[in-house]
Chains A and B, each alone.
Chain A
């Protein structure tokens, strides 16, 4: 079946540096992708989304890049802050409006 995977389970960055979290997806039918942030003891929190007709989308301090050719998704966080420490999940819809398939998650650790 389809799967969404993240390249690294843990990413450690220095405060103020930029962070890049990667995600590979396998279902070429997926046309909607989302990044979520999950802090300890809380539910996932929406960060940014992108549709398959776009290559890039920017939010506040975050950018999502989509490369459909190699089925790769990335989340870039500018000027990473201690409050960015969390587990980050990418998710895809597998071409099905109702479904959402999550990756395993990358833990971002921000060093002061």
Chain B
């Protein structure tokens, strides 16, 4: 089954404790992206990757890191999480940019 898989689905943690949210796709897609979704603000793009070893900032990259060492994986790293990063996060992938993106089921992060 073609899918985008995120882990964990839920996480409660504390300020400053580094965490990684993994994202994996099995569709051999070139393009991958991370979004956060907050009430009243909709979905906002954090980072995206057009291909392996190529990453670019979206609209809200501050406080986040990403890496794209292999095509299928695109982890989101919060080196020092803060409460304002409490949000619902989505990973997405597509064949390439300007193609419909397939979204994962989301990761709900709570930073205390």
- Seen from chain A, the residues whose Cβ lies within 8 Å of a Cβ on chain B are 1, 32, 34, 41-46, 49, 89, 91, 93, 97-105
Q: A43-B105, A44-B90 are in contact. Are A102 and B31 (CB under 8 A)?
A: no
Q: How far is the CB of B73 from chain A (nearest CB, A)?
A: 18
Task: Say yes or no: B100 contacts A43, CB within 8 Å.
Answer: no
Task: Judge whether B74 is part of the interface by a CB distance below 8 angstroms.
Answer: no
Q: Which residues of the partner chain A approach B33 to less than 8 Å between Cβ atoms? A: 98, 100
Task: Say yes or no: B97 contacts A43, CB within 8 Å.
Answer: no
Please, how many angstroms separate the alpha-carbon atoms of A102 and B44 in the complex? Answer: 7
Task: Say yes or no: A43 contacts B44, CB within 8 Å.
Answer: no
- The count of residues in chain B whose C-beta lies closer than 8 Å to any C-beta of chain A is 27
Instruction: Kindly report which residue of chain B lies nearest to residue A47, judged by CB atoms.
Output: B100
- Which of A91, A98, A103, A104 is in CB contact (< 8 Å) with B97? A98
Please, how many angstroms separate the alpha-carbon atoms of A67 and B48 in the complex? Answer: 28
Which 10 A-B pairs give the minimum distances between C-beta atoms? A43-B103, A97-B97, A46-B100, A102-B43, A98-B97, A32-B98, A104-B42, A102-B42, A98-B48, A44-B103
Q: Which residues of the partner chain B approach A105 to less than 8 Å between Cβ atoms? A: 42
Instruction: Kindly report which residue of chain A lies nearest to residue B31, judged by CB atoms.
Output: A98
Instruction: Kindly report which residue of chain B lies nearest to residue A49, judged by CB atoms.
Output: B100
Q: Which residues of the partner chain A approach B103 to less than 8 Å between Cβ atoms? A: 43-45
Q: How far is the CB of A53 from chain B (nearest CB, A)?
A: 12
Listed by A's residue number, 12 A-B pairs whose Cβ atoms lie within 8 Å are A43-B106, A89-B42, A91-B43, A97-B50, A97-B96, A98-B48, A98-B50, A99-B58, A100-B33, A100-B101, A101-B59, A102-B43
Q: Which residues of the partner chain B approach A97 to less than 8 Å between Cβ atoms? A: 50, 96-98
Please, how many angstroms separate the alpha-carbon atoms of A99 and B42 in the complex? Answer: 15
Q: Which residues of the partner chain B approach A34 to less than 8 Å between Cβ atoms? A: 100-101
Q: Which residues of the partner chain B approach A45 to less than 8 Å between Cβ atoms? A: 103
Starting from the known contacts A43-B90, A43-B92, 12 additional A-B residue pairs (CB-CB under 8 Å) come to: A34-B101, A41-B106, A43-B105, A44-B92, A44-B103, A46-B100, A49-B100, A91-B43, A98-B97, A99-B45, A99-B59, A103-B42
